[in-house]
Structure 1
Amino acid sequence: MSPGEKLDPIPDSFILQPPVFHPVVPYVTTIFGGLHAGKMVMLQGVVPLDAHRFQVDFQCGCSLCPRPDIAFHFNPRFHTTKPHVICNTLHGGRWQREARWPHLALRRGSSFLILFLFGNEEVKVSVNGQHFLHFHYRLPLSHVNTLGIFGDILVEAVGFLNINPFVEGSREYPAGHKVPCSHALPQGLSPGQVIIVRGLVLQEPKHFTVSLRDQAAHAPVTLRASFADRTLAWISRWGQKKLISAPFLFYPQRFFEVLLLCQEGGLKLALNGQGLGATSVNQQALEQLRELRISGSVQLYCVHS
């Protein structure tokens, strides 16, 4: 498979909308596939020291006139004696009854990570890993297809996840998996199975490695990214190295998604939804794999197989 080719066998629900870095505010973008239960939007940035207010709007369209409906309006306000958040819905050009949350966890001059997790009946919002609020929908979630960010905010990154990666345990908003990370594969790998690894590259990265091991701790295949020489390579059990001829897509302090699709006789690789090639692995060896091991200069948010 040539670089840039799509991985057709992977269901659409696994594909990650490319993240956006350092957009200019006001910023309006389409949400690929719209919103649905289980989808998550991640917003990372900094509140300026002189910030008065900003807003994040999940809109039903992107027209300027008439103004589109806003299913969920998230509006932190800092200029009052008691900073707070206002949430509301705009329908037919009219604001509905507003909801107010005090004890705002955002601070002027501080960085933040906000997660918007969309459920069947409500959206849950966490700030810096702590649950902050939930808001019941007043308009159908299926009508939302646009994200708008306005006001006093410096946005570093916007990420879109089609499947909530935080449901693997009882915690709603975990900080992530520790690295190195070991993930059991009790049944081995079979054709059609997909391994998903999502995370954030650290500020001064050195390497990132994903290896598949059998019960004897042998690794028939390893995927390794080297930040020093900006190469991505398959490494066999015997140390043979095969470079992947594609642009190096790992960047410091940026989100990534690695997908490994098991097929008869090997594995296909996709990074941020783009197919980057394949490697041959004996089918018997794939069936005998019992451990997925991840190490390197990353913070993990999701490991799924």
Structure 2
Amino acid sequence: MSPEEKLDPLPDNFILQPPVFYPVIPYVTTIFGGLHTGKMVMLQGVVPQNALRFQVDFQCGCSVQPRPDIAIHFNPRFHTTKPHVICNTLHGGRWQAEARWPGLALQRGASFLILFLFGNEAVKVSVNGHHFLHYPYRLPLSRVDTLGIFGDILVKAVGFLNINPFMEGGREYPVGHPFLLKNPRLEVPCSRALPRGLWPGQVIIVRGLVLQESKDFTLSLRDRSAYVPVTLRASFTDRTLAWISPWGRKKLILAPFLFYPQRFFEVLLLCHEGGLKLALNGQGLGATSLDQRALEAAGASDQWQYP
């Protein structure tokens, strides 16, 4: 794409906020589009061995003076005899009554994955895949537009996610089993085995940033004999997205083309009986049919190429 060429306009619901890797703490960032019901924020990192406390604040603005209101203050504390979490709200410069949760599921020196899921009346927080607390809103969620992270914490990644695009009215994010990497970047082309094969209900998630001089992006499933039952291909030449069969037949997918230089993307593939369902940037885009035996055989590995 030439520098003079403009990006095609995309519906707002196709535009995702890029993840942030290894931010310097304290860290404050704008939440694109603010918070709303169904949105999620994921925090992945490590609690330092000598940690005393840290906090994750969902703020109404980012001013220093006066201090902004904080709709949701999530504050794990490790320096007491019994580690616990405090949640609170700062309004007009005054803290309200604390809400306390014992049995903190975070440990010094251990990795963690925290997911904040914003519902109609409360935020739900899960730690390492298990529900930990819910905190009712005391300020309107629509006022929140800033995320702040402070204190004794090493953050590896911050992600901004949508609701499950594969479930009608679903509010949980698709469960995945990510490859745990010291460096969040993968060299491509690459191939990775699916540890437990491919079965109905499994979700494959690929997130990335398009390079400046990309030609195409392909995501293929194959078995141990290198047979490829299906390939998902995004072509930068004609700006099309399509399923490619083993015989080279192309089935176009009618959707906005969102693979542009320097733009973040998320591809989700959901395996179900008889095929795969596709979602791009949180929006379901239909499915492709596959023989169940082909799906089971394709569980050996998946591969993506991204020049």
Give the TM bin, normalised by the shorter chain: 0.5 to 0.7
Q: Does the aligned pair in 1 maintain the 2:242–2:252 contact within 8 Å? A: no
How much does 1:290 deviate?
Answer: 1.9
**Corresponding residue of 1:94:** 94
1:209 is aligned, of 195, 201, 219, to 219
> What is the match of residue 32 of structure 1?
32
CA distance in 1, matches of 2:263, 2:144: 23
Q: TM-score, normalised by structure 1?
A: 0.64
Q: Which residue of the partner structure matches residue 105 of structure 1? A: 105
Structure 1: runs of 5 or more not aligned: 185-195, 202-206, 212-216, 225-232, 241-259, 276-285, 299-305
**Identity percentage of aligned residues:** 63
Does 2:163 align with 1:153?
A: no
Structure 2: distance between partners of 1:141 and 1:171? 17
What is the alpha-carbon distance in structure 2 between the residues aligned to residue 118 and residue 287 of structure 1? 26
Q: C-alpha distance in 1, partners of 2:130/2:84? A: 16
Give the letter for the 2:112 counterpart.
F
Q: Deviations over 1:86-113 (max 9, x none)?
A: 0000000000001000000000000000
Instruction: Identify the residue that residue 222 of structure 1 maps to in structure 2.
Output: 232
* Distance (Å, rounded) in 2 between the aligned partners of 1:87 and 1:113: 18
Residue 48 of structure 1 aligns with which residue?
48
Contact 1:75-1:85 within 8 A present in 2 as well: yes
CA contact (8 A) 1:76 1:86 kept: yes
Describe the SS at the equivalent of 1:142: helix
Q: Distance in 2 between matches of 1:175 and 1:150?
A: 28
CA RMSD of aligned residues (A): 4.2
Post-superposition shift, 1:209? 2.7
Q: What SS class does the counterpart of residue 270 from structure 1 fall into?
A: coil
Partner Cα distance (2:12, 2:129) in 1: 28
Pairwise CA distance, 1:222: 3.4
Q: Counting strand residues as a fraction of each chain, which structure ranks higher?
A: 1
Letter in 1 for 2:259: A
> Shift in Å at residue 15 of structure 1?
2.2
- Report what 2:259 is aligned to: 270
1:165–1:107: structure 2 CA closer, same or farther, 3 Å change rule?
A: farther
Write the distance in 2 (CA, Å) between the matches of 1:239 and 1:223.
14
Q: 3-state DSSP class of the match of 1:13?
A: helix
Determine the C-alpha separation between the residues in 2 that align with 1:106 and 1:166: 31
- Once residues 87 and 105 of structure 1 are traced to their aligned partners in structure 2, the CA distance between those partners, rounded to angstroms, is 15
- Indicate how the Cα distance of structure 1 residues 68 and 160 shifts in structure 2: closer, same or farther if over 3 A, else same: same
Structure 2: give runs of 5+ residues left out of the alignment: 179-193, 209-216, 222-226, 235-240, 266-284
TM-score by length of 2: 0.64
Amino acid aligned to 1:42: M
**1:143 counterpart letter in structure 2:** R
> C-alpha separation between the residues in 1 aligned to 2:200 and 2:16?
22
Q: Is the 8 A contact 1:261 1:268 kept in 2?
A: no
Aligned AA (1:121): E
Partners of 1:48 and 1:289 in 2: CA distance: 45
- Measured in 2, the distance between the counterparts of 1:32 and 1:19 equals 12
User: What SS does the aligned partner of 2:35 have?
Assistant: coil
**1:221 Cα offset (Å):** 4.9
On the 8 A contact 2:164/2:171 being kept in 1, the answer is no
**Relative contact order (C-alpha < 8 Å, sep 6+): which is higher?**
1
Within 5 Å, give how 1:1-305 maps onto structure 2.
6=7, 8-9=9-10, 11-164=11-164, 172=172, 175-176=175-176, 179=194, 180-181=197-198, 198-199=205-206, 209-210=219-220, 221-223=231-233, 236-237=244-245, 262-263=253-254, 268=257, 270=259, 273-274=263-264, 289-291=288-290, 296=301
